[in-house]
Amino acid sequence: MRKDYRQLLEEAQFYLDKGDWEHGVPLLQQASKQAGEEGEPIQQSVILNNLALVQERAGQGVIARETLLYSLKLLRHVNALNEIQVLNNLGLIERNLGNLDEAIKYYEKILKIIEDIDEPFEEVRALTTLGLLYKDQNKLTKAIAHVQDALTLLEDTTVAALCEQREEGCRETVSSALALILEQLNDSPER
Amino acid sequence: MSKDYIQLIQEAESYFDTGDIQHGIALLIQASELAGEAGEPVEQSAILNSLALAQEHSGQVAVARETLLRSFKLLRHANALTEAKVLNNLGLIEGNLGNSEAAKQYYQSSLELVTEVDDRVQMAWSLNNLGIVCKDQGQLTEARAYSEQALALLENEDAPQAQAHVLSGLGLTLELLHDVEGAQEYYQRALELYRQVDDQENEAVILHNLGQLYDNQNNFSDALEYYFKSLAINLKNQYKLGVTDNLNSLAALISTAYQVIESLEKQLDNPLRDFPLKFGHIISAWLQVLEDVLGESNSLNRSGDFSLVAALTEAESLESAIKMHKQILRFNQKIGYPVGQIKTLIDLGLLVRDAQQLDVAEQYLTQALTLAEEVANPNDLYNVYFNRGDIRMMAGRVSEAINDYAAAVDAAESIRTRLLLEEEALDYFAWPNLAAYDRLVRIQARLERTKQALSWAERAKSREFLRRLRLSDITRPQQVPQTLIEQEMQLIIQLRQTAIDLQAANEVDRLNILRNYESLEKKLCELWNKMEQFAPEYVALRQGKPTSWEELQQCLQV
């Protein structure tokens, strides 16, 4: 039976406690890979962090640096996604309460977080929601610009496929948002 | 058995599936508390996120908002801490690879993250790490201020490991400021705390630092004791960097001791003649202790490095000591540890020098210089230039030796100019750091270059004078535009006031004042760069550069 990452970690720790790094290091590497495959990026990052310290102690400073940079990248990505999830909900609640300015702040914050990570689906989603929020405030030029940005992202076929995978009908949602804004534009003298 | 939070989440979900929202909500609240108690903030935040959605569905929108804000705060805090941890480790590795600036940037990023979430213990870690990098760059006032602020932050915190880390950083800085007793006290306190939390890796580091402290005072027996205690831990746990540091220092100590013994034995009134305990016996006894410790933990056979230690302790002759150092150098090179390589290359150079192979000795020192320039630790640069100067002197290449001593003086002065507290500046030029000036004065005098000899003597004496002159009232040359003069006067007044504040500041405020001082000083340097085209001598004097008597007279004329 295939071992899970926790078992591998325990085994690695057993060897490392005895100072036997030759056995401990490969087990830590396996555990990290396994945690990634099990969809546990935070655990994967923690394991990589420990692995780097072991590599450093073994005098492999340059390898340890690579390990840590990878750990940091993973961690920043998953931390950002977790924060985006809560911010999305906060934005949703403020929107439902009619506090559009507050809601906009949360979605703008999401866009700021996305700058540092490659997460096009969340970007498309935040841009579309922002477009709709600006529409509700009758700031139609801003609204169109945001939804257009989302559509531009979807022109990339890889991005479009990825978004479709995450949310069926993603492109249609964005197009409908644009249609709603344009409809309001036709009814309103404000730009 | 009480349920864990995962079971509670599962139960809550089954209530939600049956539409019993209120029961589900109550269970999620319990689950969130349990996750918090279990020290799982990310999980707790995720539970709160789900809870908020359930609250929103049941129409409790304002409550849901509060729950989400709490979830976000928890998540930000946890995320900041985990990212800061990785950033601190990256800083550590860059520091060990000799990349001080990169290390500083990682620590700075880590500090920003943990300051944002107001975590005092983690702030102390990052501040102290910054202090240690500043120390390595020869910025000792900053180093001390960072570490002291870190210590103040930890005053009411139950964080023995962080406290030990800070105390150790302060010890290192005080050692460089020649405050041996202060350094010793900090190391002992750190040692106690590391033992309390069973942090063996750092316990070994402190034991090694204490060894070095005694070694530098020529207290060989105490130094040996600490080195061997540190080595036992490092070998047992296979901490390679620690082993390398121990081997570097032990090799230097043993070869120095044997050389001292050899020269004493040539004397008729050898003070060691009737001394019952021979150095070789002491070393053998320590080796036995080491063997026993490793044997007890069944790590003797696995530790291939033990044989290197054993061979090292038997290196009684100069030739065998050189051979040993070469092995240790390869060890350092293998693990890519430039700081260790510099130390071994200097020691190896000195041993080869004693074996009268001056050209080889010079090559080792030149290799050390290349590495020291990369690492850019002015203390290392001083040691390399000074020792290479000595070797070149012995080889009769006087003008090259003079250049080396002059470069050593520059390295020492670069540290000195960064000392902003009076007592530190006065302590810094204690005897070891004056040796390069001393060599220069003596050589120039022997060459009957009286003027140059006098100039170096004056330079040594005038360092404090020049330092003070930087911010004193000097008549500005007429050719400098009035606007620049006024800006300079303003900045100097502000800098003087900040310097007074700095002297009076407590440990907590010192770092902020220091940052203000540095920013003012940066502005003043930029201004002086603008003024240089109008009055270069005046600016040289202001910058504390050595000035001729004629130039001084010109500037001091009222």
ipTM of the complex: 0.84
Q: Look at residue B131 and tell me whether its pLDDT is greater than 80.
A: yes
pLDDT band at B366 (very low <50, low <70, confident <90, very high): very high
| CB-CB under 8 Å, B93 with A64 | yes
| CB-CB under 8 Å, A93 with B238 | no
- CA distances (Å), origin A24, targets A50, A54, B120: 11, 9, 34
Higher pLDDT, B332 or B230: B230
Q: Which of A116-120, B54-58, B109-113, B263-267 has the lowest mean pLDDT?
A: B263-267
| CB-CB under 8 Å, B299 with A57 | no
Residue among A65, A68, A83 minimizing CB distance to B76: A83
* Mean pLDDT of all residues in B371-378: 82
Higher pLDDT, A9 or A189: A9
Q: Look at residue B494 and tell me whether its pLDDT is greater than 80.
A: yes
| CB-CB under 8 Å, A82 with B335 | no
| CB-CB under 8 Å, A93 with B49 | no
B53 contact A CB<8A: yes
C-alpha A154/C-alpha B428 separation (Å) is 64
Query: Residue B1: its pLDDT value, please?
Result: 43
C-alpha A64/C-alpha B67 separation (Å) is 39
% of chain B with per-residue pLDDT over 70? 87
The values of phi and psi at residue A115, to 5°, are -55, -35
Task: From chain B, pick out residues whose CB is under 8 angstroms from the CB of A103.
Answer: none
Q: What is the pLDDT of residues A45-61, one digit of tens each?
A: 999 999 998 888 777 88
Closest residue of B to A78, CA-based?
Answer: B79
Q: Which of residues 265-324 of B touch A (CB under 8 A)?
A: 298-299, 302
Please say whether the dihedral angle defined by the alpha carbons of residues B53, B59, B65 and B67, taken in this order, is positive or negative. negative
* Pairs across A and B, CB distance < 8 A: 115
Closest residue of A to B43, CA-based?
Answer: A82
**Mind telling me how many Å the CA of A191 is from chain B's nearest CA?**
32
Closest to B132 measured CA to CA, from B159, B183, B92, B164: B92
Strands of A14-160, DSSP E? none
Q: CB–CB of B132/B165 below 8 Å?
A: no
Closest residue of A to B98, CA-based?
Answer: A61
Closest residue of B to A70, CA-based?
Answer: B86
B337: which DSSP letter?
-
The set of residues, in sequence order, having a beta carbon less than 8 Å from that of B200 and lying 6+ positions away, is B194, B233, B237
Task: From chain A, pick out residues whose CB is under 8 angstroms from the CB of B79.
Answer: 75, 79, 82-83
C-alpha A46/C-alpha A35 separation (Å) is 10
Retrieve residue B219's tokens.
């207290």
Apex B81 CA angle, B146 and A40, nearest 5: 150
Chain position carrying tokens 């899970």: A4
User: Could you tell me if residue A178 is left (phi over 0), alpha (psi between -120 and 50 degrees) or otherwise beta?
Assistant: alpha
B241 contact A CB<8A: yes
Higher pLDDT, B376 or B393: B393
Residue among B69, B236, B239 minimizing CB distance to A57: B239
| CB-CB under 8 Å, A69 with B42 | no
B116 contact A CB<8A: no
**Mind telling me how many Å the CA of A69 is from chain B's nearest CA?**
8
Query: Residue B304: its pLDDT value, please?
Result: 65
* Mean pLDDT of all residues in B468-485: 75
Apex B19 CA angle, B16 and B25, nearest 5: 45
- CA distances (Å), origin B394, targets A101, B357, B408, B456: 78, 11, 17, 21
Q: Look at residue B557 and tell me whether its pLDDT is greater than 60.
A: no
Residue among B56, B302, B337 minimizing CB distance to A59: B337
Please say whether the dihedral angle defined by the alpha carbons of residues A92, A94, A98 and A99, taken in this order, is positive or negative. negative
**Mind telling me how many Å the CA of A38 is from chain B's nearest CA?**
17
Q: What is the pLDDT of residues B163-206, one digit of tens each?
A: 999 999 999 999 888 889 999 999 999 999 999 999 999 999 99
Q: Look at residue B558 and tell me whether its pLDDT is greater than 50.
A: no
Query: Residue B220: its pLDDT value, please?
Result: 85
Closest to B392 measured CA to CA, from B433, B413, B363, B427: B363
Q: Which of A152-161, B47-56, B255-264 has the lowest mean pLDDT?
A: B255-264
How far does Cα B371 stand from its chain's mean position? 17
Task: From chain A, pick out residues whose CB is under 8 angstroms from the CB of B87.
Answer: 72
Residue among A69, A82, A97 minimizing CB distance to B61: A97
Higher pLDDT, B480 or A70: A70
E strand or H helix that includes residue A33: helix A21-37
How far does Cα B505 stand from its chain's mean position? 23
Query: Residue B555: its pLDDT value, please?
Result: 59
Chain position carrying tokens 């060890």: B331
Higher pLDDT, A144 or B337: A144
Q: Look at residue A191 and tell me whether its pLDDT is greater than 70.
A: no
| CB-CB under 8 Å, A76 with B93 | no
Whole-prediction pTM? 0.73
Q: CB–CB of A109/B76 below 8 Å?
A: no
Closest to B61 measured CA to CA, from A136, A108, A133, A99: A99
C-alpha B397/C-alpha B401 separation (Å) is 6
E strand or H helix that includes residue B2: none
Please say whether the dihedral angle defined by the alpha carbons of residues B103, B107, B112 and B114, taken in this order, is positive or negative. positive
User: Could you tell me if residue A89 is left (phi over 0), alpha (psi between -120 and 50 degrees) or otherwise beta?
Assistant: alpha
| CB-CB under 8 Å, A42 with B72 | no
B201 contact A CB<8A: yes
Q: Which of residues 66-105 of B touch A (CB under 8 A)?
A: 68-69, 71-72, 75-76, 79, 82-83, 85-87, 89-90, 92-94, 96-97
Residue among B53, B299, B336 minimizing CB distance to A61: B336
| CB-CB under 8 Å, B69 with A72 | no
Chain position carrying tokens 């270059």: B449
B65 contact A CB<8A: yes
| CB-CB under 8 Å, B56 with A93 | yes
pLDDT band at A109 (very low <50, low <70, confident <90, very high): very high
Closest residue of B to A74, CA-based?
Answer: B83
Residue of A93, A99, A113 best to disrupt the B interface, most CBs of B under 10 A: A93
Task: From chain B, pick out residues whose CB is under 8 angstroms from the CB of A75.
Answer: 79, 82-83, 86
The set of residues, in sequence order, having a beta carbon less than 8 Å from that of B413 and lying 6+ positions away, is B463
Residue of B60, B93, B306 best to disrupt the A interface, most CBs of A under 10 A: B93
Mean pLDDT over all residues of chain A?
91
B200 contact A CB<8A: no
* Mean pLDDT of all residues in B412-430: 64
